[in-house]
A and B are shown apart, each in its own frame.
Chain A
Amino acid sequence: MNTLHTITVIINGQSYEREVEPRLLLSDFIRHEIGLTGTHVGCEHGVCGACTILFDDEPVRSCIMFAVQANGHTIMTIEGLTPDASEENLHPLQASFREAHGLQCGFCTGGFLMTLLPFLQENPNPSEQDIREAISGNICRCTGYQHIVDAVKIAAAKMEGQ
């Protein structure tokens, strides 16, 4: 029990090698071992979506995966959207959320953005129905979702122009 496993993971383009207990959740690994606290933890059983990351380019819940399972895989977290963390270089999705007031407390936002990034890449012209379905696995307690949907529409327009 508790045998440590050595894992190598690429997160936001950088390679990390760490020793982990098998029971360490991937969300806790990202937050506590790597220090990337933009990945939030709301429910820890897969229902809220706050901990969504890209795992080999697909959005998944990091709270219902073990860190040891990420060995040899590639991850992108919310911090990867604007690598230099500068306001001028905000990703169009981030800029649209700011424009449309798509966030209030911001706790859910990282999870929404990591869900929406691949969604918009696959669906450059989503309908409102498509958008609502795409975010059905992410819970926001503040906005009532309308401004999030508005933000996604703006983002789709911005990203198409790119």
Chain B
Amino acid sequence: MKPPPFEYFAPTTLDDALDYMADYGDEAKPLAGGQSLIPTMNFRLAQPEVLVDLNGLAELAYIRPAAGGGVSIGAMTRQRSVERSPLVAEQAPLIHETMPYIAHPQIRNRGTFGGNLAHTDPASELPAVATALNARFRAQSRSGQRWLTADEFFVDLFTTALEPEELLVEIVIPPLPAQTGYAFREISRRHGDYALVGVAATVTLDNNGRCEAARLVYLSVGDKPVEAVQATAALIGQKLTAEAIDDAAEIAAAQDIDPPGDIHASVTYRRHLAKVLAKQVLAKATARAKQE
């Protein structure tokens, strides 16, 4: 339970950090909050030769209004700061509501917003929520920067589209459209544990009170965030009655997802949870959209 030896660098500017990433490439791993990386190193599941510690990069720890509305969050912002930010609560209320579900306060004090997304754990809340909110990801390397959508960013189990020499530096959460409601729910054995199933929803109503757009994105049912596209397609143009929501939840659980079974929950139980949770979040998002 002790990590293997490694070379350690603690740059204090992003430029220096990007130089280290470019020089060491595949051998190097960036160290953010360390709340996922260090446990895997303690188990020796990860044995990076070089760690580039990003904790000295004050320039990546910020929460500010985004240029086109919404909020920009620097990758090294602690999860706890995001949870406590009035700007996030106002501009990205779904993120605000989701933060307390992530691990425990002691972990959120150290864990970062960017590190959580870059880790891309299929049981993580934020990748699913970021997908539902159409978050955009800014990646930077010594040779330049590029923007990625959530679909582009999350590639597979613990795999993002980042190149070895690239860092995730910023995440932009766009504002919700008018008449849009949102909700997040998950079921876990204990508060703070990884979820057996979780789901984020957004619902946009048109002027006649019918569904104009909807997103339903699950965690813990596949290798990365899984969007229930057939379920939401069935909602478009509908009045969001209890029956319509029931039908959509049934489609989501039966057709859109192919959840794994393990010692924590069987396939049948996960599908059951997926349906119950979909009903709850769609109903709550709809109610909120009506209040808008």
B-contacting residues of A (Cβ < 8 Å)? 1-3, 5, 21-23, 25, 28, 44-46, 49, 52, 55, 58-61, 63-66, 68-69, 71, 115, 119, 132-134, 136-137
Enumerate B1-60 residues with CB–CB distance to A below 8 Å.
1-8, 10, 34-35, 38-39, 42-43, 49, 51, 53, 55
B191 interfacial contact with A, CB 8 Å:
yes
* CB < 8 Å neighbour of A137 from B6, B51, B105: B105
Bound CA span A65–B192, Å = 20
A63 touching B42 in the complex, CB below 8 Å, given contacts A22-B8, A136-B192, A137-B192: yes
B80 interfacial contact with A, CB 8 Å:
yes
Q: Are A59 and B109 in contact (CB under 8 A)?
A: yes
B contact residues, range: 20 to 34
Q: Hey, which chain B residues are within 8 Å of A21, CB to CB?
A: 5
B183 to chain A, nearest CB (A): 20
Q: Hey, which chain A residues are within 8 Å of B192, CB to CB?
A: 136-137
Q: Are A58 and B7 in contact (CB under 8 A)?
A: no
A66 touching B5 in the complex, CB below 8 Å, given contacts A115-B106, A136-B104, A137-B104: no
A44 touching B106 in the complex, CB below 8 Å, given contacts A2-B5, A22-B8, A25-B2: no
Q: Are A22 and B6 in contact (CB under 8 A)?
A: yes
Bound CA span A65–B103, Å = 16
B3 to chain A, nearest CB (A): 5
Given contacts A22-B5, A55-B109, A59-B109, 14 further A-B contacts (CB under 8 A): A22-B7, A25-B2, A45-B43, A46-B39, A65-B34, A65-B110, A66-B34, A71-B10, A133-B191, A136-B104, A136-B192, A137-B103, A137-B107, A137-B192
Chain A binding surface, main DSSP class: mixed
Bound CA span A68–B38, Å = 13
B61 to chain A, nearest CB (A): 13
Q: Hey, which chain B residues are within 8 Å of A60, CB to CB?
A: 106, 109-110
Bound CA span A23–B39, Å = 12
Q: Hey, which chain A residues are within 8 Å of B53, CB to CB?
A: 69
* CB < 8 Å neighbour of A66 from B1, B35, B38, B39: B38
B146 interfacial contact with A, CB 8 Å:
no
Bound CA span A137–B5, Å = 29
Q: Are A58 and B109 in contact (CB under 8 A)?
A: yes
Q: Are A69 and B42 in contact (CB under 8 A)?
A: no
Return 17 A-B CB contacts under 8 Å, by A number.
Answer: A1-B49, A22-B6, A23-B2, A25-B3, A44-B1, A45-B1, A45-B42, A49-B106, A52-B106, A66-B34, A69-B53, A69-B55, A115-B105, A133-B191, A137-B103, A137-B104, A137-B107
B27 to chain A, nearest CB (A): 11
Binary interface profile of B, 92-127, with partner A (CB < 8 Å = 1, else 0)?
A: 000000000001111101100000000000000000
CB closest residue in chain A, given B109:
A58
Q: Are A64 and B7 in contact (CB under 8 A)?
A: no
Bound CA span A21–B2, Å = 12
* CB < 8 Å neighbour of B7 from A1, A28, A63, A66: A1
